Structure formats: structure tokens, C-alpha cells
Amino acid sequence: MITLGVEEEYLLVDPATAVPVPLAEEVRRATGLGPFADGAEIQYELLQAQIEVATPVCWTLDEVGGHLLRLRHALASAAQAIGCRVAATGAAPVLGGLTVPVTPTPRYARMAREARQLVDEQLICGMHVHVGVPDPETGVAVLNRIRGWLPVLLAMSANSPLWSGRDTGFASWRTIVFSRWPVSGPPPHFDGFSDYEERLEALVASGVIADRGQAYWQARLSDRYPTVEVRCLDVQLRADDAVMFAGIVRGLVATAIAEEKAGLSLPVVAPELAHAANWYAARHGLKGTLVDPLGRPCSSGQALNALMRHITPALEDAGDVRGVRGLVRRLQQAGTPADRQRRALKEAGLPALINLLSGSGTFE
């Protein structure tokens, strides 16, 4: 069994207006006083209206789900105690007109000096899945083999259609905001681990990015853990959908490792096509066509069916196939979280949207 872990980022918002509120320190302190989470699992993010949770290393999807529910409950209770709410949305649907303070660390302060407007607009929240790999060389081979599937994952996870009180026309506005950084989007194809390292070091040496952590590719090797980190996903409304993506990502990594060991050929999608497919997935979610890993247009249904066929042997090996398949089927029927946000706002206005993002179905 391959290990995995999940990180989720959330917004802290006013319970009546959904305006982001800079209360991360207070929420984290209140959570730390309780018996349900320790300090290593709840962390600060770039802006003080954001907070992040990180599961321990897990072996099963049941473990992932249990930790995410525990951490979501702990945060929700702490936030309620100090008068705000935790919102599981990929982008702030409402902005209050005031700049949210940057979390006071040297790294974040430097980022704010160098890219003030970008930092001010980073009121966005993602989900990162870490999957264990045996060594960095295998990790780079995995990156090469999963990069064509990232637009499909992005389309499935889309949960940020609203920004500053308006519908953006995109299913994942978070993806567009994040793409403004100099190194972002789908990773390039690498000729092994040495090539990966040389290109990362060249980026840092150029001065365009300050450190390796600012290589914001949607999939990369973790510098902290022996894992591949997939970062293309919007944070999810429901913890069980987050578990679904954890299972899918582990299935993709396990399949990539098996293909690499078997010496299967790997068609390389051109970088311009990968970036175009990524933008198109952010624009439409599952409402239009997608681009498959070979660069061919297909319907969203065809893309999801192809993804499931591709990873089913790995899901079967892990005992995950029934649970993941059922959640994917539900997603196809109910639509993406972006679709649910739009429906809630249209049918019952801002109160319904706030309840969707932070209510009982999400954090309790």
C-alpha cells in the first residue's frame, strides 16, 4: 500500500456577509486548546484570513476521511467560538474592500514586497495530495506520466466560480489567480531527476523566484517529504469528495509507477497544449469538452470514464475501487462544487451560499 496525506486550505469569513476576516491566529489558538487537533496539523497560510490543515501520513482512505472530518470539526468549533466561520471555497466569493494582512513571516513578507497585488488577491484555497514514492527518480517519472491527467482532475474539483461579488464565468477562478505567478500550471516534461533538479535550481538562480517553494507547478516533488505532491485541486466542499480525490491521485501515482516499471512508452503532450487544456478545464469544469492525456478533445463523461479505466487496477489493489467509483458517479450526477455554488446563490442568495460553504454539510 502506498502512503498518502492531504492538505486543505480554508477561508475565514464573516458569518453574515462572507467577507474574509483576518482571524487565523485566534482560530488556530482556540483550536489548539481543544482535544481534537495539535499544532502541527493546523497551520498558517499566506494571508491571515486563511488557515490550512494537514493530515498525518495515512495508509487508507478511511484514515484520510477520519482525519479530515476531525480537523474540519475542530476548526469549525474554534471559529464559531470567536465569531467567524470556516468556508471551503476555492476563492473568496465576496471581498470587503480592505486588504487582508499578510501572515508575519520573513518569506511571506518578501513575497508581499515583490508582488503586492498578487499577494493581496491570494484569497484562494486549494487541496494538495501527497503520495509516497520510493525515490526521486521514480517521482519524476510519475510527474511525467500524470501531467496529462491534471486538467481532468482540475475540472472535476472546480469550486471557485465567484469572486468579489460576481460570477467570474470560470469554474475554477482559483486556477486563473494562481497562474499569474511566474512558475505555475502544468509541470513540463523532465528528462529524469537530474534534469528536474537542474531546472529548479536554474529558476532560483535566475532570481525570478526566491526559493524552490515558489515553483508552483500543479504537480511536483515535495522538498519536505518523499512524495509527489499534486496541487491542481480546488479545496472541496465535502470531506468525502476530498477523500475521493486522494484515492484518484494515489491511483494515478500507483499506475504511473507500474507503467514505468513495465517500460511502457509515454507520449509527451506539448507544453502549450497542456497549458491550454488546463485553462479550458478551469473555464468550463465538467460543463464542456476536455482534453485527454494525448491532447485530443473529448466530452467530460468520456474523460472521467477513461480516467477510471486507467486507474481501476490500482484502485482494486488498494481496496478503493467501490468507494471511489461511487463518489465519481455522484459527481457526474450532481455536478462540481462550482455548479453547487452557482445553484445556491441563484436559488436562495448569499445566506444559502454561506451555508453551503461553511454549514452543516461541509464542517459538521
Q: What does residue 224 show for φ and ψ, rounded to 5 degrees?
A: -100, -30
Q: Please, where are the H alpha helices in 133-212?
A: 136-146, 150-157, 173-178, 193-206
The per-residue pLDDT for range 109-133, each reduced to its tens digit, is 999 999 999 999 999 999 999 999 9
Across 43-47, 166-170, 198-202, 356-360, least confident range: 356-360
Rg of the chain on CA atoms, in Å: 19
Per-residue pLDDT tens digits for 179-200: 999 999 999 999 999 999 999 9
Residues 132 and 148: their CA atoms lie apart, in Å, by 20
Those residues with Cβ within 8 angstroms of residue 327's Cβ, 6 or more apart along the chain or in another chain: 240, 241, 243, 244
- With respect to CATH, is domain 4-332 assigned 4.10.490.10? no
Q: Where are the domains of the chain?
A: 4-332
pLDDT band at residue 50, thresholds of 50, 70 and 90? very high
Asked whether the predicted pLDDT for residue 33 surpasses 60, the reply is no
3-state helix, strand, coil in the chain (%, to 5): 50, 15, 30
Average pLDDT of the residues in 199-218 = 96
Residue 94 near residue 43 (C-beta atoms within 8 A): no
Q: What is the pTM of this model?
A: 0.96
pLDDT digits (tens, 9 = 90+) for 264-276: 999 899 999 999 9
- CB of 250 closer than 8 Å to CB of 131: yes
Give, as one character, the DSSP assignment of residue 59: S
pLDDT digits 0-9 by tens, 305-345: 999 999 999 999 999 999 999 999 999 999 999 999 999 99
Smallest Cα–Cα separation from 338: which of 180, 174, 178, 152? 174
